[in-house]
């Protein structure tokens, strides 16, 4: 899987980059058939923004965004959102319809 890094007005440490790479790799392996991911770090004033775009075969493009004062918490928020999307994408149609019927 190829990860494209983008930093707009941001200086990203190697440790944070490695942390993002490990998390994206883990989520991609849970999803299977991952093609690539884009990880964007942006700073605008005092706010930091992390956006993760995950592309996988036979799945829609998943986009997650996190905003915080620092990049670490923003990455954690984005990963949390992406994790929820991966979990729901892994469920089969039968599981999704059964859950909807119960509700």
Confidence label for 31 from pLDDT (cuts 50, 70 and 90): confident
Report helix angle 71-90 to 14-31, nearest 10. 10
Domains, the chain, ordered by start: 2-102 (3.30.160.100)
* Integer Cα distance of 61 and 55 in angstroms: 5
Neighbouring residues of 83: CB distance < 8 A, sequence distance ≥ 6:
27
In the predicted model, is pLDDT for residue 80 greater than 80?
yes
> What pLDDT, in 10s, does the model give residues 39-59?
999 999 999 999 999 998 888
> What pLDDT, in 10s, does the model give residues 7-19?
988 889 999 999 9
Tokens of 51: 């956006």
Q: pTM, whole model, 2 decimals?
A: 0.83
């Amino acid at each position: 899987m190829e990860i494209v890094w983008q930093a707009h007005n941001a200086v990203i440490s190697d440790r944070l980059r490695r942390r993002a790479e490990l998390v994206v790799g883990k989520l991609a392996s849970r999803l299977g058939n991952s093609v690539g991911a884009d990880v964007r770090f942006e700073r605008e004033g005092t706010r930091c923004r992390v956006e993760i775009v995950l592309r996988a075969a036979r799945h829609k493009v998943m986009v997650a965004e996190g905003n915080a004062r620092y990049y670490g918490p923003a990455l954690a928020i984005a990963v949390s959102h992406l994790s929820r999307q991966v979990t729901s994408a892994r469920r089969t149609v039968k599981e999704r319809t059964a859950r909807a019927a119960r509700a």
